[in-house]
Structure 1
Amino acid sequence: MDCLSASNLFKSYKNRLVVNDVSIKVKRGEIVGLLGPNGAGKTTTFYMIVGLVPPDQGNVFLGNQDVTNLPMHLRAQKGISYLPQEPSVFRKLTVEENVVAVMEAMGLPSFEGKKKARALLRELNILHIKNA
């Protein structure tokens, strides 16, 4: 996957500005986190990057490709996904099933997705909770 970046993201709900001119750049293989108090706009920023909510202004890029208007499933096929802290998307699926679902959305056959999911869970040292 190429560099993932977002530039000048803004998002308001009703009359409340929740994301104000956020820009971020993530290089391939880099692991990043957004830190801040509750209500700072961290989750909304992630939602805009993965396509769950559209930004009011700003753009999301994968390499040189503007993916701002791509739906979430097409972003997932390109490798952009979001695994929330709380189970909010596929609540009835296990940890492993959630990871496999994203890999299948990226176009991997089920058997290959399972193999790669196990490797990823092992690498992250969370294989022991794969059925949670």
Structure 2
Amino acid sequence: MILRTENLVKKYGARLVNDHISYQVAQGEIVGLLGPNGAGKTTSFYIATGLVKPNSGKVFLDDLDVTSLPMYKRARLGIGYLAQEASVFRTLSVEENILAVLEMTNLSKSEQKEKTESLLEEFSL
């Protein structure tokens, strides 16, 4: 599976944040973007996940154009983003955070619970 972007452009008013950004990441590959604050690193990831819409450019998963898909549909296809913050849902327990993520899968409620218990046990939580 390959995540690929082509010529991503994002502007906020007159400010050009992403200027024709293209990148490709293969499954299992670890990639980092380096640059100063405000360079557009996070914005390019947000566009790939569907959190932010580009002014122009495309996002592909393998050969499927996912540019117009909402974030939850991209997540179901395997595109996700782990933010710097420890948790978006700070008031939830670890178990509740895991269950919240598993709700995006096609697992039944009992399978979600089983997977959650397995992960909690695996990490001794």
Alignment deviations for residues 73-98 of structure 1 (CA, whole Å, 9 cap, x no partner): 11111111111011563232345543
SS in 2 for 1:32: coil
How many residues get paired? 123
Which residue does the alignment assign to 2:20? 21
Which residue does the alignment assign to 1:69? 68
Aligned 8 A contact 1:73 1:105 in 2:
yes
Distance change (3 Å), C-alpha of 1:95 and 1:34: farther
Which residue does the alignment assign to 2:105? 106
> What TM-score do the two structures reach when normalised by structure 1?
0.78
Aligned 8 A contact 1:78 1:106 in 2:
no
1:58 and 2:57 matched: yes
Aligned 8 A contact 1:8 1:21 in 2:
yes
Separation (CA, whole Å) in 1 of partners of 2:87 and 2:76: 20
> What TM-score do the two structures reach when normalised by structure 2?
0.82
Separation (CA, whole Å) in 1 of partners of 2:87 and 2:40: 18
SS in 1 for 2:103: helix
SS in 2 for 1:105: coil
Separation (CA, whole Å) in 2 of partners of 1:68 and 1:96: 32
Which residue does the alignment assign to 2:9? 10
Which residue does the alignment assign to 1:93? 92
Shift of residue 33, structure 1, vs aligned partner: 2.0
Query: Unaligned stretches of 5+ in structure 1?
Result: none
Distance change (3 Å), C-alpha of 1:99 and 1:118: same
Which residue does the alignment assign to 2:48? 49
Separation (CA, whole Å) in 2 of partners of 1:85 and 1:111: 30
Runs of 4+ residues deviating >6 angstroms: none
Aligned 8 A contact 1:79 1:106 in 2:
no
Separation (CA, whole Å) in 1 of partners of 2:8 and 2:91: 32
Q: Considering only aligned residues, what root-mean-square deviation do their CA atoms show, in Å?
A: 2.5
Distance change (3 Å), C-alpha of 1:110 and 1:85: farther
Equivalent positions of 1:115-126 (< 5 A) are 115=115, 118=119
Shift of residue 30, structure 1, vs aligned partner: 1.4
Query: Unaligned stretches of 5+ in structure 2?
Result: none
